[in-house]
Amino acid sequence: MVQLLFSSGLFLSASLLFIIQPMVAKALLPVYGGTPAVWTVCMLFFQVLLLLSYGYAYLLSKINDIWLWRSSHFALMLISLLNLPLMFSPSIKNAVPELSILGNLLLQLGFPLLVVGASAPLLQFAYSQTRGKKASDPYFLYVASNIGSLLALLAYPWLIERYIGLKLQFYYWTWGYCVFLLLLFIIFLAFYYQPLSQVYTRFKLSWSQVLKWVTYSFIPCSLLLGVSFYISTDVAPTPLLWTIPLALYLLTFIITFAKRSIISFDWLKQQVLFFFIFPVLGFIIGGNNISVSQIVIFHLLNFFVLSLLCHQQLVELRPVPNQLTLFYFCLALGGVLAGIFNGLIAPRLFSGIYEYPLVLALALLCIPLKEERGFTYMPLLILILLALNYYLMDGEVFHLLKQYHVIEILSLILIVLWSGNRLNLFLGFSILFIFLFFPAFQNKDVLLQERNFYGIKQVSKVAGAYALMSHNTLHGFQMPDKDHLNGGVAYYGPMQGVVSLLREDKNTLTANIIGLGTGTAVCQFQKGDQVQIIDIDEQVIKIANNPRWFSYLRDCPAKASIIKGDGRMALRQVVNASADLLALDAFSSDAIPTHLLTLEAFKLYAQKISSDGVILVHISNRNLDFLPVLTAVGRQLDLIVLKKHQQENLLEKQLASDWVALTMNQPLAVKLMQKGGWHFVSMENQQLWTDDYSNLIPLLK
């Protein structure tokens, strides 16, 4: 009975803590442009909160008077009730989006989550003071906590998000929190507790021990954030892709802290390089040569193995119960340091996602291998090979070597077969990652690479053209020859056709466009047309206005005004409510911000166009089919829904793309089908999104 109550308390506290993480991140996405960085900053907040919670639990554990520390926690529980009912709504605005997110979370969720976060170490500490079975080793209760976390995370994208709206989710969470507080009162009042000093002798800790706790917590936490950002950049920033890595992370805790080992860690240490080489191979040959599903599986599997080995080290280093709260405090400190590194330092220090491969290499340095030999000259050989590959080799044969990544793959083989020890592995992979990721070595034609809260932008010279890339997605290009100022290049052919048909009835057009890219869309309009373009990313605006690479904004006949801000928020401020065209082309890599595709968003779009106007949406995506979402919106708003696929035509400099048009103008719809090659979309397959509800699972291709 004692174990059941304590396990239930830990299970419920962990469930509440991990359910609310994707909830608040989803609530924040529309406010901050739908970028994957929202999840990274939210994770930082929860890691800081856990650190404060575990620090608070550590201080309470030093109070010898049992009634005094329980009364202190009761007082905090009562104070937290002032935050109920929990209805999270972002209110703080700041020029630095990371600080704005952290401020909103702290103000509205601070006290309840402090109580929930402190409960895991406090309940284990309290159990060690009872006369229950295994009170001398209460770490088994940590398994109940992690099972609760894991089930909560799996339930969110597959059940909660799929069937319950966001407002109702917060309502149910509030009731769950009240049940949890009641259970805490019962646990703390129903059992006899004895001071821990009467049960255990003092255990002297060394600083090296504490440093190991922090390090073996930092590495998997940083990898968690890195792999989550990496895989969600090319799909969509969504709880589904956030919760899977976090669920795997928690599963490693369950496995390593279980009473009986279900995995041979000696075998895992022998096979760790086998799991490591597949994501590295993906780094080498590029995302265009491997399916996204394969890339995701490779990275998640490798992350799972490395986290298992790090957490196994923590199990072997765990202290006796009188240092339990300090142990958890150090684990939380490692998580906070990882959150600060990945969420705040890396986006400002690095121009790419370099923190992820860097910590991958660091993991191999810190994880003990089954067998280790002496130092070899392998890292020096790798450095020489990759340097020659970049600087000296030229000619047709060497071009083929580069095209098929022969030297990089050879380097990977040498690292795996001739490493010898952990230091060699770390140096070998670090050198390989530097040549793979840093723009100075990645491609001589990379002219610019920048990174901020909204993602990574790269300007390259490809086949004589200047191209804007975000991760593996092309966002536009321009030939140096000004004769190629053509609005139909890249993926804008369907938009050019719509503009041409609109012009048959009007001499001048008015258009609002969400998403700037290189500014190619402006060239589809003529002098005298009124064009407004909205983009949230200041770096994109600077790149598009740099005539060294892209001169569309300067040289095209129409002159566009640029508005910096989130598409929906900025569009509300646009006075013009009679635009002929409203176009959505807002990408973050291959991901489309989901808040731009909800019913409420399209109600706003419909208010900003004339009765005979048209809404165009660019829905090209390698992994998701957004047509059912737009079909459902069309039915709700009585709009005609058309679609068009543009075939790739390199001679005409056209890229494959998919577009959807929504309009109330029946004559225009008929023209688009008869003259423009557009096709009517039936209303059979629908998936309505609202600001309160969205779910990606039915849209997976």
**Straight-line distance from the first to the last Cα atom of the chain, in angstroms, rounded to the nearest whole number:** 48
Q: Give the pLDDT confidence of 216-236 residue by residue, as tens digits.
A: 999 999 999 999 888 877 555
Q: Give the pLDDT confidence of 340-399 residue by residue, as tens digits.
A: 998 889 888 888 888 999 999 999 888 877 666 766 788 888 888 888 777 765 656 566
The one-letter amino acid at 380: L
Q: Which of 280-289, 467-476, 529-538, 620-629 is most confident? A: 529-538
- Measured in degrees and rounded to the nearest 5, phi and psi for residue 581 equal -140, 135
CA distance 330 to 50: 10
Contacts of 389-398 with C-beta under 8 Å, sequence gap 24+, read: 389/435, 390/435, 390/441
Q: Give the pLDDT confidence of 116-133 residue by residue, as tens digits.
A: 888 888 888 777 777 667
Q: What pLDDT is stored for residue 199 in this prediction?
A: 47
Query: Residue 319, preceding bond cis, omega within 30 degrees?
Result: no
Alpha-helical (H) ranges within 31-159 are 37-61, 66-80, 97-127, 141-155
Q: In what order do the strands lie in the sheet with 455-462?
A: 446-452, 455-462, 465-470, 473-478
Q: Give the pLDDT confidence of 607-632 residue by residue, as tens digits.
A: 999 988 999 999 888 778 899 999 99
| Mean of pLDDT over the chain | 83
Nearest alpha-carbon partner for 364 in 272, 228, 432: 272
The residue-averaged pLDDT of 552-560 equals 89
Contacts for 671 with CB less than 8 Å, ≥ 6 apart: 501, 504
Q: Which two tokens stand for residue 283?
A: 């780094």
Q: Vertex 565, ends 562 and 571: CA angle to 5°?
A: 80
Weakest-pLDDT range from 74-83, 184-193, 498-507: 184-193
- Domain 486-699, CATH 3.40.50.970 — does that match? no
The residue-averaged pLDDT of 134-150 equals 75
Q: What pLDDT is stored for residue 485 in this prediction?
A: 57
Weakest-pLDDT range from 431-435, 484-488, 521-525: 484-488
Q: In what order do the strands lie in the sheet with 510-514?
A: 560-564, 530-535, 510-514, 579-584, 609-618, 657-663, 640-646, 679-680
Helix H or strand E segment including 451: strand 446-452
| CATH, domain range 2-366 | 1.20.1250.20
CA distance 576 to 578: 6
Question: For the chain, how many residues are written?
Answer: 701
- How far, in whole angstroms, is CA 292 from its chain's centroid? 15
Paired residues of 455 in beta bridges: 452
